Structure 1
Amino acid sequence: MKSIDAEQVHRICEFSRLIDRLSQLHQQPTEEMRDLLLTQPTAAESDNSFFIRAAWQHDRAMGAKIISIIPANSANDLPAIQAIYVLLDGKNGLPLATIDGTVMTYYKTAADSALGARYLARQEVETMLMVGAGDMAPYLIDAHQAVRPSIRKILLWNRTTRGAFELAGRLKTGKIQVEVIENLAAAVKQADLICCATRTTEPLIKGQWLRVGTHVDLVGAFTPDMREADDQTIRRSRLFVNSRLTTIGEIGELMIPIKNGVISAADVLADHYDLCRNKHPGRTSDQEITVFKNGGGGHVDLMTARFIYEQS
């Protein structure tokens, strides 16, 4: 059995190749998926959590990501979120590899969003807005550049300007212009591609700010009370998701506007299985506003683990 550490994951996960492989693996039969979440109350605001996310592509591969979320670790210079992935043969169940699940998650999330942009963003995107300056942000920027090398300018917005400047200092963008911007409305109005990776429950992206032709990639919201875009954004846009199973009935980004009658589940036009199998064309005009909700899921973890194992 192989043991694949973080350094190896970084070396293997070149975005163009990973995105191509995710596209291919979405053309295989849909998987069985299931999550298990255990929580332990603490004296602090946030509970400790133990999370297992499993998936099985029958006769191909099975695996589980095991995640610990211990918020108090931050005060002790330890990561609050840590993960390991276990990959097994899908036919005989033999263990194949353990993989650093923390770094793998960064790559799989960013690649899944960029796969959406491949189908949904205009071909000649020039200005990208990154909303949120957390650990995911540099991976999302790199992944979107891999599918849209036309990007020439990156705008950074964060609730704290300091965080945005720190992110700017970490980016390796070559000749691409990077600008920290404090006025979010002004940034949205300039952007051709907007990527959001925050944990907000109050929408940050307002539909009235969006230009025609913009693509919006919503990554951060992952609970029923979280959302990054307001009703007008959802109403004005053509809606797509990475997987119907992990988004429509699971995440506030869609659950809240559906509950309020703003949209219905039928307004989600396609997911990656539809797009990668050519059942839906994705963007059909430069005048459309497109929204892609990335809900993650054990199926994408499994696909990414398969790619890493194949390349190791």
Structure 2
Amino acid sequence: MANPIFIDDTFIEKNTQFPELISEIKHSFSHQKTIVPVRHHHDFPNPQTQADTTLLLMPAWNPGKNSGIKVVSISPENHQFDLPSIQGSYIYLDATTGVLKAIMEAKNLTAKRTAATSALASSFLSKEDASSLLMIGTGALSKNLIQAHASVRPIKQVYVWGRNYEKAGQIVSELAKEDYTVTPIRYIEEKISEVDIISCATLSKNPLVFGQFLTPGQHIDLVGAYTPTMRESDDLAIEKASVYIDTFEAGLKESGDIAIPLKNGILKEGDIKGDLFNLCKNDRIERQDANEITLFKSVGHALEDLAAADYYYKQFTDE
């Protein structure tokens, strides 16, 4: 039996082509052969930081082919230790024999598949000629979200906002060689009403995307707010938009962006237009006209992880 291989973040960073990864994830959603149990979500005290750490266990398997489980911890106060808030590994198995095929670092795998999933949704929901993007947040996901969105839409201008203006400047520097212009801004209100796409990936407990600033034709991509008590959009944003989620199973309860409006009666489950399974099956629920405001809420799904693991394993082994 061959020894399992180790695929690190550096390999994943250097070997990601977003159009290819998006296609892999789209194929998995459209064919629905992957079995995904409800993920384990556990919060436990972190006395040193006085903020709970979240442990996520995300299994998935494609019978007769491959299976895997991602183990992730999210520690919101890791900046105190100069560490990313998200830590984790992906265990990749042969679904027939159970043999361990690979261990992958999950930081970049998660960032890349999350960004690719948002871009997949955008390919259905944003305007085809969308050329401007506001990126709210300066974490590990931000650069990837910009690149992924730009791979499905003709983005020419990107604006970046973060609580730390210098970090926004760092993202500008990292994307200096791209075909689009990237500019840091000090206030979200400077550009939020002008752009075609708003992507938000933060650990904010309070809304940053306010409905009063939204204008016809925009697409909102919400990626942060991973617990029921966190949210990145306010009630008016939800009321003004056609709402979509990555999956109904987790999307209705795991993020405050959806769970809180549902609880308060601002949003009804029947108001949600569909999820990625619907979109990828061509259920004709995509954007209806140029003035519609669309909103996609992503909480993450183990199907995306397995699709990404398949993608990187094939590249590493030249299969």
Tell me, yes or no, if structure 1 residue 97 matches structure 2 residue 99.
no
Deviation at 1:283, TM superposition (A): 1.0
Structure 2 match to 1:307: 311
Residue from 201, 226, 230 that aligns with 2:230: 226
For the residue of structure 1 that corresponds to 2:199, the secondary structure is strand
Tell me, yes or no, if structure 1 residue 278 matches structure 2 residue 261.
no
Amino acid at match of 1:223: T
Amino acid at match of 1:7: T
Amino acid at match of 1:151: I
Amino acid at match of 1:157: W
Distance 1:182 1:100, change over 3 A: same
User: How far apart, in 2, do the equivalents of 1:38 and 1:297 lie?
Assistant: 18
For the residue of structure 2 that corresponds to 1:27, the secondary structure is helix
User: How far apart, in 2, do the equivalents of 1:125 and 1:89 lie?
Assistant: 41
Distance 1:177 1:73, change over 3 A: closer
Moved more, 181-190 or 290-299: 181-190
Amino acid at match of 1:267: D
User: How far apart, in 2, do the equivalents of 1:72 and 1:20 lie?
Assistant: 34
Distance 1:268 1:5, change over 3 A: same
Structure 1 match to 2:91: 86
Structure 1: gaps (5+ residues): none
Deviation at 1:204, TM superposition (A): 1.0
User: How far apart, in 1, do the equivalents of 2:109 and 2:134 lie?
Assistant: 24
Residue from 7, 21, 46 that aligns with 1:4: 7
User: How far apart, in 2, do the equivalents of 1:196 and 1:253 lie?
Assistant: 12
Q: Deviations over 1:25-63 (max 9, x none)?
A: 112225222325363541331245543222223333221
Matches within 5 A, 1:110-149: 110-148=115-153
For the residue of structure 1 that corresponds to 2:102, the secondary structure is strand
User: How far apart, in 1, do the equivalents of 2:161 and 2:77 lie?
Assistant: 27
Deviation at 1:184, TM superposition (A): 1.5
User: How far apart, in 2, do the equivalents of 1:68 and 1:279 lie?
Assistant: 35
Amino acid at match of 2:122: A
Moved more, 264-273 or 26-35: 26-35
Matched-pair identity in %: 32
Structure 2 match to 1:212: 216
Tell me, yes or no, if structure 1 residue 157 matches structure 2 residue 177.
no
Amino acid at match of 2:5: K
Residue from 16, 27, 30 that aligns with 2:30: 27
Moved more, 109-118 or 195-204: 195-204
Structure 2: gaps (5+ residues): none
Amino acid at match of 2:120: L
User: How far apart, in 1, do the equivalents of 2:80 and 2:239 lie?
Assistant: 42
Moved more, 21-30 or 223-232: 21-30
For the residue of structure 2 that corresponds to 1:188, the secondary structure is coil
Structure 2 match to 1:37: 42
User: How far apart, in 2, do the equivalents of 1:77 and 1:257 lie?
Assistant: 35
Deviation at 1:210, TM superposition (A): 1.1
Structure 1 match to 2:63: 58
Deviation at 1:151, TM superposition (A): 1.0
For the residue of structure 1 that corresponds to 2:47, the secondary structure is coil
Distance 1:259 1:69, change over 3 A: closer
Moved more, 287-296 or 46-55: 46-55
Distance 1:163 1:73, change over 3 A: closer
Paired residues of 1:270 and 1:280 also in contact (CA < 8 A): no
RMSD: 1.9
User: How far apart, in 1, do the equivalents of 2:75 and 2:213 lie?
Assistant: 37
Distance 1:295 1:280, change over 3 A: farther
Moved more, 190-199 or 178-187: 178-187
What is the TM-score when the length of structure 2 is the normalising length? 0.91
Deviation at 1:73, TM superposition (A): 5.9
Q: Deviations over 1:125-152 (max 9, x none)?
A: 111000111111000000000011x111
Distance 1:71 1:216, change over 3 A: closer
Paired residues of 2:30 and 2:277 also in contact (CA < 8 A): yes
Structure 1 match to 2:300: 296
User: How far apart, in 2, do the equivalents of 1:69 and 1:107 lie?
Assistant: 17
What is the TM-score when the length of structure 1 is the normalising length? 0.93
Structure 2 match to 1:18: 21
Deviation at 1:183, TM superposition (A): 2.8
Tell me, yes or no, if structure 1 residue 107 matches structure 2 residue 112.
yes
Tell me, yes or no, if structure 1 residue 196 matches structure 2 residue 196.
no
Distance 1:50 1:259, change over 3 A: closer
For the residue of structure 1 that corresponds to 2:140, the secondary structure is coil
Distance 1:231 1:276, change over 3 A: same
Distance 1:155 1:66, change over 3 A: same
Residue from 264, 274, 277 that aligns with 2:268: 264
Alignment length, in residue pairs?
311
Amino acid at match of 1:256: I
Amino acid at match of 1:46: A
Moved more, 71-80 or 219-228: 71-80
Amino acid at match of 1:51: L
